[in-house]
């Protein structure tokens, strides 16, 4: 099979979005629209990808997750003009996909089918088309009585009869690279908009009696473009349904798919239950038989098996099997929680490791700490990790018992099987099997209340 490349057009400002941000970097389920299109091209087999940028080009480059090439279109003079900016990239070998950065619903499967159709029919150019009830605004695919492709014409340039046609041009193509490059040299802007239209390259190719055709996709939503906030929401709904249904087909129970938000990159294993208003973002992995409770947020984290997360936030961290988190816990980045651990209500953990069978029941902050196995934290414990200049680490070894309202002033070490007394401020290491006490001795002043009154 000949080498496949992709050119993605992403230079427009998107004025209907009413945003200072370029249109193509607006996000659906945590990922930019342009990233979805790049992924689809890669899934279809594109080995090299170039993105044509224009409006706020540096912002677009910064926001994209993938290592692709960029070319600049300084003036936006139509789709044909945008593709001209990539002539050197297109070259004379293989096939090239032409895609749009604001069509996030296009899939690698649909593009792969178009490439296969293109090769099997020995086409010089293949358009991706679909049938819609309301074709207003889209270019039309015009065929003759024998259903042979004649042309693609823009809505504004179509006759009233041509506007009645319901087969529309998605704007996505697969071209023979050499023929596209040659046809770009003959483009003109002799049309109602004074722009260079990419579909006009088809005339040049057809004049050479080369094969041009349109492949009709039966999934019309694939080609939906986003030009407004309403359309962004509509595309998001479709993407949300696709992702959630895929997980449900794979054995995940989602109580209410309309109120559950899962990124395309997340992996969730069977018999896990996801409750409403949960957000599972980034490249999160969730194991088997987990319960993700309502109003939970999990981002780029690895969640093991048989874990219960109740109304909590977990960011860039890992949690091992049979652990309970929440309610209202906050696991901040670079935290690693062991197996059979209890992280209770209003517990915050940051940049710390917590060993197996440890209990942090409630109202505790653990930051920049290494906690061993079988440790018990009393209510109100604080690891005092910041001295105003530097972050310091605390070590709490296996089988330690931290009394309620203990302040552990880093750097400090509580050794194996050591205890701290409730209400203590611990500033020195506590040896093994010792009790650390760091509090003032209680003094009772007799009759103080009577005297005060």
Give the Cα separation of 64 and 33 in Å (integer): 10
Give the Cα separation of 258 and 236 in Å (integer): 11
| Residue 362 annotated among the catalytic residues of the structure | yes
CB within 8 Å of 55: residues ≥ 6 apart: 11, 12, 13, 14, 22, 76
Going by the DSSP 8-state scheme, the letter that residue 130 receives in this structure is E
Of 81, 118, 247, 362, catalytic: 362
204: part of which helix (H) or strand (E)?
helix 201-207
- Contact between 325 and 342 under an 8 Å Cβ cutoff? The reply is no
- Contact between 363 and 355 under an 8 Å Cβ cutoff? The reply is no
Cα distances (Å, whole numbers) of residue 345 to 74, 325, 362, 365: 54, 8, 5, 11
Closest CA to 171 of 228, 116, 102: 102
Give the Cα separation of 138 and 163 in Å (integer): 9
Give the Cα separation of 232 and 260 in Å (integer): 17
Cα distances (Å, whole numbers) of residue 118 to 85, 180, 206, 328: 24, 14, 15, 54
Cα distances (Å, whole numbers) of residue 11 to 57, 199, 366: 7, 18, 47
Catalytic residues: 362
């Amino acid at each position: 099979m000949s080498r496949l490349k992709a050119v993605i057009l992403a230079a427009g400002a998107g004025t209907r979005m009413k945003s200072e941000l370029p249109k193509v970097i607006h996000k659906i389920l945590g990922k930019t629209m342009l990233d979805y299109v790049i992924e689809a091209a890669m899934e279809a087999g594109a080995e090299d990808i170039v993105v044509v940028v224009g409006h706020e080009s540096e912002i677009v480059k910064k926001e994209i997750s993938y290592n692709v090439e960029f070319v600049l279109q300084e003036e936006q003079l139509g789709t044909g003009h945008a593709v001209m900016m990539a002539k050197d990239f297109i070259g004379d070998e293989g096939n090239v996909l032409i895609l749009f950065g604001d069509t996030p619903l296009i899939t690698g499967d649909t593009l792969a089918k178009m490439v296969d159709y293109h090769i099997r029919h020995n086409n010089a150019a293949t358009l991706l088309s679909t049938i819609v009830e309301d074709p207003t605004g889209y270019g039309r695919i015009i065929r003759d009585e024998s259903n042979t492709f004649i042309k693609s014409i823009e809505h504004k340039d179509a006759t009233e009869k041509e506007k009645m046609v319901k087969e529309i041009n998605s704007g996505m193509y697969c071209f023979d690279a050499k023929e596209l490059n040659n046809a770009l040299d003959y483009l003109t802007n002799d049309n109602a908009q004074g722009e260079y239209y990419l579909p006009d390259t088809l005339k040049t190719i057809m004049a050479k009696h080369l094969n041009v055709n349109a492949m009709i996709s039966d999934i019309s939503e694939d080609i939906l473009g986003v030009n407004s906030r309403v359309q962004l929401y509509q595309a998001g709904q479709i993407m949300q349904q696709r992702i959630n249904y895929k997980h449900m087909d794979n054995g995940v129970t989602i109580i209410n798919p309309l109120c559950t938000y899962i990124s395309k990159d997340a992996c969730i294993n069977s018999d896990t239950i996801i409750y409403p208003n949960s957000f599972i973002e980034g490249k999160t992995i969730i194991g088997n038989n987990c319960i993700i409770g309502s109003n939970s947020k999990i981002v780029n984290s690895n969640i093991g098996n048989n874990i219960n997360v109740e109304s909590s936030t977990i960011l860039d961290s890992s949690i091992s099997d049979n652990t309970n988190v929440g309610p209202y816990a906050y696991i901040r980045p670079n935290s690693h929680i062991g197996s059979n651990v209890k992280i209770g209500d209003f517990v915050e953990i940051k940049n710390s490791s917590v060993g197996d069978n440890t209990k942090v029941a409630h109202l505790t902050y653990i930051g920049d700490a290494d906690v061993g196995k079988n440790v018990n934290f009393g209510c109100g414990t604080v690891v005092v990790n910041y001295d105003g200049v530097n972050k310091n680490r605390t070590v709490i070894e296996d089988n330690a018992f931290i009394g309620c309202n203990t302040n552990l002033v880093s750097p400090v070490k509580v050794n194996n099987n050591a205890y701290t007394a409730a209400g203590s401020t611990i500033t020195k290491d506590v040896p093994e099997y010792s009790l650390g006490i760091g509090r003032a001795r209680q003094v009772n002043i007799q009759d103080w209340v009577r005297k005060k009154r």
